[in-house]
Structure 1
Amino acid sequence: MVIDKIENYTLYANLTERLAKGFEFIKNTDLVQIESGTYEIDNKEIFAIVMEYDTKEMKDCVLEGHTKYIDIQYIIEGVELMGVTTKSNQKSLTSDLDKDYTFYEGETSLVRIEAGMFTVFFPDDLHMPCIQAAESSRVKKVVVKVQI
């Protein structure tokens, strides 16, 4: 897993050509003005989901992981906490392989992700997004899904 500021994206973009395309979308798109929705970047191999939501109490959030896609999650506006951990010793609850998610039960470490920061979650990384910091607040985020 990677947690960093967007100005450092070039340190990770060269890992794969697909990751580079995902970061190019983030850097070359007016994300403040973009509407919520799904945006195709490179067919089904790379696409972006822009969303806006209010952060929630941790008890109302879900720990999730993916096997077919790497997630680049970039905070456009707002701040949220994310629970992060690896798949080791986590209990699987529900899976939908077609939609590429598995929900888990387990302990996480909390990290604060603010506007201008991104995370990269690989298949062994689990994440629990959308957690409120001090209180619930509005977040605008883009999640770029990069097929492995």
Structure 2
Amino acid sequence: MIIDKLSNAKLYYGVHPRIQKGLEYLIEHDLNSMAPGKYEIDGLHLYVLIEEYETMPKEQGRWESHRKYADIQYMISGQESMGYSTIEGMNLIERHEEKDHFYFEGSGDLLLVKQGSFAIFLPKEAHMPQISDSTPQSIKKAVVKILID
């Protein structure tokens, strides 16, 4: 897991070529003006989801992980807490292999991701997004999905 401001994105270009392309996309596009939806960058290898929603209490959150995709979760507006944990020691409770979604029960740490910042979750790292830091708030977020092969 990596957490930082988008202004420091170049520090992480060496992690994976598609992570670099995803970070460059976030820097080069006017994300505020983009409507919610899916935008292809490189087919199923690299795409971005623009999301708008209300954050929720931690008790309503779900631990998730992916096996094929990494996520860059970038806060366009607002802020939210995101849970992080390794999947070791967590209990797999639901799997959707065709969508690359795996859900777990367990515990981990919550980290505050503020507007202008991003978190990168690699395959097999559990994360719990959309958590309110104190009270629910409306946010806008870009989630870059990166096939790691």
> TM-score interval w.r.t. the shorter chain?
over 0.9
1:117 maps to what in 2?
Answer: 117
Partners of 1:134 and 1:43 in 2: how far apart? Answer: 37
Partners of 1:59 and 1:66 in 2: how far apart? Answer: 21
1:40 maps to what in 2?
Answer: 40
For 1:81, the aligned partner's letter is: S
Identity %: 36
> SS where residue 9 of structure 1 aligns?
helix
For 2:134, the aligned partner's letter is: A
2:20 maps to what in 1?
Answer: 20
Partners of 1:104 and 1:42 in 2: how far apart? Answer: 30
How big is the shift at 1:123?
1.3
Instruction: State the number of aligned residues.
Output: 148
Partners of 2:118 and 2:128 in 1: how far apart? Answer: 14
TM-score for both structures, normalised by structure 2: 0.97
Partners of 1:12 and 1:107 in 2: how far apart? Answer: 27
2:53 maps to what in 1?
Answer: 53
1:144 maps to what in 2?
Answer: 144
How big is the shift at 1:124?
2.7
- C-alpha RMSD over aligned residues: 0.7
More displaced 10-residue stretch of structure 1: 43-52 or 16-25: 16-25
Where do 5+ consecutive residues of structure 1 fail to align? none
> SS where residue 31 of structure 2 aligns?
coil
> SS where residue 32 of structure 1 aligns?
helix
2:81 maps to what in 1?
Answer: 81
TM-score for both structures, normalised by structure 1: 0.98
How big is the shift at 1:9?
0.7
The runs of at least 4 aligned residues of structure 1 exceeding 6 Å deviation read none
How big is the shift at 1:41?
0.2
